[in-house]
């Protein structure tokens, strides 16, 4: 079985450009998560969906960041007007139903904002 698939693996954007990151969760998993990892902040929760519905976006920066899950097979994280401080590894993860289950991570998208 394929794991969580994230594309692209690496993305370089100029300051002020838009970046869209894609995630395909494990088939049959109803909970999908986005995390961000940096050296300074560590692993930060951004948002999660269950059965495609947004459940908790408490970690999402209030401006410029948005996440969607238009169908059960993919989710997107969009960052508008990217800034150098957005540079990080963005990790998507999924689990069977969310509660009391450790999500399984994809390989991540390394975003570099120049």
Determine how many CB atoms are found less than 10 A away from the CB of residue 70.
Answer: 9
Cα separation, 61 vs 64, in Å, equals 7
DSSP category for residue 52? T
Q: Which two tokens stand for residue 111?
A: 């975003």
Q: Counting contacts by CB under 8 A, is residue 90 touching other proteins?
A: no
Nearer to other proteins, 34 or 113 (CB): 34
Q: Give which of 48, 25, 19 is closest to 35, Cα–Cα.
A: 48
With respect to other proteins, which residue has the nearer C-beta, 14 or 41?
A: 41
Contact residues for 72 (Cβ-Cβ < 8 A; gap 6+):
25, 30, 51, 52
**Does 53 participate in binding other proteins (rule CB under 8 A)?**
no
Number of residues that bind other proteins (CB under 8 A): 25
- Contact stretch for other proteins (CB under 8 A) within 14-22, 47-55, 69-77, 80-88: 47-55
Instruction: Decide: is 108 part of the binding site for other proteins (CB under 8 A).
Output: yes
25 touches other proteins by CB under 8 A: no
Q: How far is the CB of 11 from other proteins (least distance, A)?
A: 16
Select the residue interacting with other proteins from 19, 21, 29, 33 (CB under 8 A).
33
């Amino acid at each position: 079985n394929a794991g969580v698939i994230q594309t692209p693996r690496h993305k370089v954007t100029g300051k002020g450009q838009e970046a869209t990151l894609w995630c395909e969760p494990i088939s049959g998993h109803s909970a999908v998560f986005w995390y961000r990892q940096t050296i300074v902040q560590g692993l930060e929760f951004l948002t999660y969906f269950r059965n495609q519905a947004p459940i908790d976006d408490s970690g999402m920066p209030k401006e410029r960041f948005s996440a969607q899950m238009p169908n059960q097979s993919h989710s997107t994280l969009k960052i508008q007007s990217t800034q150098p401080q957005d540079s990080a590894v963005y990790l998507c993860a999924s689990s069977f139903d969310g509660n009391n289950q450790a999500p399984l991570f994809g390989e991540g998208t390394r975003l570099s904002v120049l």
